[in-house]
Amino acid sequence: MSGRGYSSIPFADVRITSPFWRERLDVVLERTIPSQHAKLEAVGILDSLKLPKPVPPLTIPRNSHGFTMQVFWDSDVGKWIEAASYALAHRRDPGIEAKIDAIVEDLERAQSPDGYLNCWYNGREPEKRWTNLRDNHELYNAGHLLEGAIAYYRATGRRKMLDIMEGYVNHIASVFGRGPGQKRGYPGHQEIELALIKLYRLTGDRRRLELARYFIDERGAQPHYFNEEALGRGEDPASYWAGTYEYNQSHIPVREQTRMVGHAVRAMYMASAMADLALELGDEGLRLACEALWRDVTLAQMYVTGGLGPKETNEGFTEPYDLPNETAYAETCASVALVFWAHRMLHLDLDGAYADVMELALFNGALTGLARDGTHYFYSNPLESRGQHRRWDWHVCPCCTMNVSRLVASVAGYAVSAREDGVAFHLYGGFETAVVLAGVKVALSEKSAYPWSGEVRIRIDPEAPATFDFALRIPGWAKGATAAVNGERVALAPANGYATIRRTWRKGDVVTLDLEMPAERLYAHPNVRMDVGRAALRRGPLIYCVEEADNPGAPVQTLALPRAARLEAEWKADLFGGAMTLKAPAKRLVPGKGGGALYSTEPPAARDTALVALPYHLWANRMPGSMQVWVAELDN
């Protein structure tokens, strides 16, 4: 069996029935999407779309580089429409649709006759359009508006926004390229590439794919476009505030890149587009580059939560094994985008290694970005806190808010893929869909209490008997897996993380899968200097943390877990509507014979205690307090 040829099933064609994701989805539908609209209104972002009008003073002052984050307000609008549209696919909502339609009216009025559409430039400095791709996010904005338009069209069938955006894309295609008189530019912040590929997949218009390919292939070419552009603005390219084009991954052509560098979200969007193009174009060079970058990230630059980018100043990568916990930047957007990339790699190759990382980033690094109440967020996601971290209800750069809501609202799209004679389950957790397999329409209904339990039951209802591959992901964390068809045990021979059952399936067939999901310790490579002598706790796809709310009395950093201590899973029905915690006998370090001295020749004493760990994505939803993912370990 080749693992190739799978495509994802569109999010709108998958229903969610599990309590875990249903609860998150309901919160996003009922609280997040409306509150985000209110915020977009309150901070002036929606108003900025209403052109022409007198130019108001800046809400966000320019920084010392002359940059204001208002230049990418359009993207927030696009992402909100996208998130809302995914939610609408689950439950139509005339109120939300009216709000989107009003925005679309504004966009229509703001669009230039030649198709150009950027509310910052059209409103404030129309003569400067396309003069600073490096910093000013024009193509990034276009990408997000286009993704919003596509999602809204898919969810509702309304195509006005899509038409507007196709007009804009036509304009962009006329401006950029290798033809005479065209600019050899590409985005400073990658994103439009992903949107163009989605547009191609929606419309079949190959020009969109070609434009995406152009942007990816032109990136990092010499003479360097951002140098030329800076000279055109009368600036010295050497005075670039970021110091290096590694910041936006244009330091060398993308095919030559083997180390993931710079701004993590840009890097992930780029890699996602590269994977998409590798698939659509059968481009082995791009595939190899993706694979090299994947190895670099997952072998040396990824937090155990699926967080990416340790450093605040570049919002991105530093060097191998540099993964500080308390100061981790690990932007929510970067984990969201890692889900995007892993999902695309999975369609290049049905390899569980990709699915494992997709799941890790989804359930941990990304999901933690959205508070239980659906209206508070984390932008950066440290793996340790002394209690100074608080979720915020908005951010001067609100990118993460809509990134996490669009991910949660579209999570159904990550669960299942299909090809002509096969279906593959990547995620479990209550997903229902129907696909055509071997020419037969097949209803699939998966039920489980995943991620809390590894017991999965999938009912397969072909309209007529049909022979196809039924591929079940056996997660890397599973300590064992058994399966049965209609109650009869089947031998599993997982290859690359998927166990495939090929047979003639009939209506009412039931596959059960039991994934062993013990609580366990994870250790970092010893080169991760911050985690030496420490263990992280995992159960199934969930990374755990110790939080002061469950371990009161002292900072959780004084907890130590003996290596031999048994970890037990304990269901707490009253915790966030039900959550599996982990419990272990542990030690609380207290001053030893040295008393309260800051330094002493006497080691701390260790008092017996119990440690309670909580899924990382649930932290910081109660009282503020200390938190730690990597717990100190005692050898005995």
Does residue number 55 form part of the binding site for a copy of itself (CB under 8 A)? no
Sole binder of a copy of itself in the list 67, 394, 523, 576 (CB under 8 A): 523
Which residues in the 381-400 window bind a copy of itself by CB under 8 A? 384, 386
Q: Between 101 and 351, name the residue whose CB sits nearer to a copy of itself.
A: 351
Please confirm, yes or no, whether 30 is among the known catalytic residues.
no
Which residue in 322, 351, 421, 514 binds a copy of itself (CB under 8 A)? 322
Catalytic residue, from 119, 333, 399, 545: name it.
399
**Residue 40 in 3-state DSSP?**
helix
Q: How far apart are CA 486 and CA 505, in angstroms?
A: 11
Residue 588 neighbours by CB distance under 10 Å: 19
What does the alpha-carbon distance between residue 522 and residue 520 come to, in Å, rounded to a whole number?
7
In angstroms, give the least distance from the CB of 318 to a copy of itself.
10
Tokens standing for residue 211: 């434009």
- Residue 227, number of CB atoms within 10 A of its CB: 17
Question: Distance between CA atoms of 398 and 27, rounded to whole angstroms?
Answer: 19
Q: Is 32 in the site for a copy of itself (CB under 8 A)?
A: no
Task: Confirm or reject binding of residue 589 to a copy of itself (CB under 8 A).
Answer: yes
Query: 559 with 587: CB under 8 angstroms?
Result: yes
Among 484, 522, 569, 610, binds a copy of itself (CB under 8 A): 522
Residue with tokens 């599996």, as numbered in its chain: 580
For 617, the token pair is 């994505």
Stretch that binds a copy of itself, among 203-211, 220-228, 514-522, 569-577 (CB under 8 A): 514-522
For position 563 contacting a copy of itself by CB under 8 A, the verdict is yes
Smallest gap from residue 325 Cβ to a copy of itself (A): 10
Which among 51-59, 85-93, 141-149, 533-541 is the span making contact with a copy of itself, rule CB under 8 A? 533-541
Hey, what are 370's tokens?
């959205």
Q: Which is nearer to a copy of itself, 346 or 360 (CB)?
A: 360
How many CA within 13 A on the CB side of residue 84?
27
Task: State in angstroms the smallest separation of the CB of 239 from a copy of itself.
Answer: 13
Q: Judged by CB under 8 A, does residue 58 bind a copy of itself? A: no
Is 636 a binding residue for a copy of itself by CB under 8 A? The answer is: yes
Q: Which residue has the tokens 């290596």?
A: 563
Distance CA 380, CA 383 (A): 10
The span of 51-59, 66-74, 212-220, 583-591 binding a copy of itself (CB under 8 A) equals 583-591
Q: Has 399 been annotated as catalytic?
A: yes
Q: Is the Cβ–Cβ distance between 182 and 130 less than 8 Å?
A: no
CA 509 – CA 410 distance, rounded (Å): 28
Q: Considering only residues 604, 610, 622, 624, which one is a binding residue for a copy of itself as defined by CB under 8 A?
A: 604
Q: Which residues contact 145 (CB under 8 A, 6 or more apart)?
A: 74, 75, 77, 78, 81, 107, 117, 161, 165, 168
| Min separation Cβ 215 and a copy of itself, Å | 31
Residues 542-561 that bind a copy of itself (CB under 8 A): 554-555, 557-558, 560
3-state secondary structure of 291: helix
The residue written with tokens 């002598």 in the block is 533
Q: Which 73-102 positions form the footprint of a copy of itself (CB under 8 A)?
A: none
| Distance, CA of 489 to CA of 483 (rounded, Å) | 6
The residue among 285 and 594 lying less far from a copy of itself, judged by its C-beta, is 594
Give whichever of 37 and 588 is closer to a copy of itself, judged by the CB atom: 588
Q: Is residue 453 part of the contact set for a copy of itself (CB under 8 A)?
A: no
Q: Which residues contact 180 (CB under 8 A, 6 or more apart)?
A: none
- Shortest distance in whole angstroms from residue 62 CB to a copy of itself: 11
- What's the token pair of residue 493? 């021979």
Q: Which residues bind a copy of itself (CB under 8 A)?
A: 64, 298-300, 302, 304, 319, 322, 324, 326-327, 384, 386, 520-529, 532-536, 554-555, 557-558, 560, 563, 589-592, 594, 596-604, 628, 632-636
- Catalytically annotated residues: 315, 399
